[in-house]
Amino acid sequence: MAVIRDVMPAFELFQPSSVADAQKLLEQHGPDAWVLAGGLDSFDWLKDRIRKPKAVVDLSGIEELRSVRTTGDGIEIGAMTTLTEVVNHPIIKQKYGLLAQAAELVASPQIRNQGTLGGNVSQDTRCWYYRGGWPCYRAGGNICYADTPEGRNREHAILHADRCVAVNPSDSAPALIALDARFVLRTPKGERVVDAEDYFIGPEIDITRLHILQPGDLLTAIRIPSTWAGAQFYFEKIRDRNVWDFPLMNVASAMVTSGDSIERIRIAVNGAAARPLRLKAVEDAVRGKPRNTATGEMAGKLAVQGAVPLQFNAYKIPLMRNLVKRAISGVEEATWAS
């Protein structure tokens, strides 16, 4: 394991006051730059001396990245808006409560006061081999230590593993996918807007990253359309401890019903793979079906098709099955490990 020294390597600190200045600095320093948002993920890397950037670009002084704004078709949330602000914002609570529910379950109140929405969706995986400085695939080596007979992999992937079995740790990511959000990026070529589900990538695309940001890119805002405003929302997070902990798995759904039938739905899970997964096959299967236990059970079984457990995480298959079942049927008291 890496030796934890709690002394950061030297770097040049920049504190721009505008998005334009920040993007210019990131473009100038390229792969030697590190974006600092709330700092909760960054300081772990820097204190353990696993990452040694030459330049750190601190976004805390950019006011335009902090607000929640209404638009002609929904809202736009600045990437530096804290999770606490997301939880407490009246429009988010009233119309997009799914995101407020997810954000409120991130870590602890102290961390939510500092952590940002942009940081929560852009944080790196928490696999302890990778973060401990082991030369694994994700770190440029030629082995996945978690996926070995001696590996500890209780928190790792059951779906879409490709050499690396680490998972995405974000709570807000599946909620934003369920809300059909779009992420606004500033790149050296100009502004780029991508669907939330396309912001995240798996190891089959790039094993070194969990998202599409390249050196010089900056996530500036997240837009949520009015499409799912006021829908029936469901968010559930399973974790070992009721505060601070990352999810073993979570589920988010937005649903519109007509009578007893599901008219339209979006559903996503996280903690099952290296990226949050939108369950399109489940959405298609339950559309037009009654919202009841039978439909939920069918959806849960469909969601876990193709899942491959590791030595210590087979529990994630019934966990995911039952989370999806409850998100569809609305039954909150079922036993998740049955």
Domain ranges of the chain: 233-329
Backbone angles phi, psi at 110, to 5 degrees: -60, -40
- Judge if pTM exceeds 0.85: yes
Q: What is the average pLDDT across 230-236? A: 98
Under the banding of pLDDT at 50, 70 and 90, the label for residue 4 is: low
Query: How much is the mean pLDDT over the chain?
Result: 95
| Tens-place pLDDT, residues 263-295 | 999 999 999 999 999 999 999 999 999 999 999
Q: Residues 6 or more apart from 153 whose CB is under 8 A from it? A: 146, 147, 165, 310, 311, 312, 313
Q: Say yes or no to pLDDT of 89 above 60.
A: yes
Under the banding of pLDDT at 50, 70 and 90, the label for residue 47 is: confident
pLDDT at 337: 38
Identify the sign of the CA torsion 183, 184, 188, 189. positive
| Weakest mean pLDDT among 234-243, 273-282, 326-335 | 326-335
Q: What is the average pLDDT across 81-100? A: 98
Check whether domain 233-329 has CATH 3.40.190.10, yes or no: no
Q: What is the average pLDDT across 10-38? A: 97
Q: Residues 6 or more apart from 81 whose CB is under 8 A from it? A: 65, 66, 67, 68, 116, 117, 118
* Spatial CA neighbour of 265 closest among 309, 308, 231, 316: 231
Q: Which tokens belong to 167? A: 């998972």
256 by Cβ neighbours in 10 Å (0-12 / 13-18 / 19+) ranks as middle
- At 226, the amino acid letter reads S
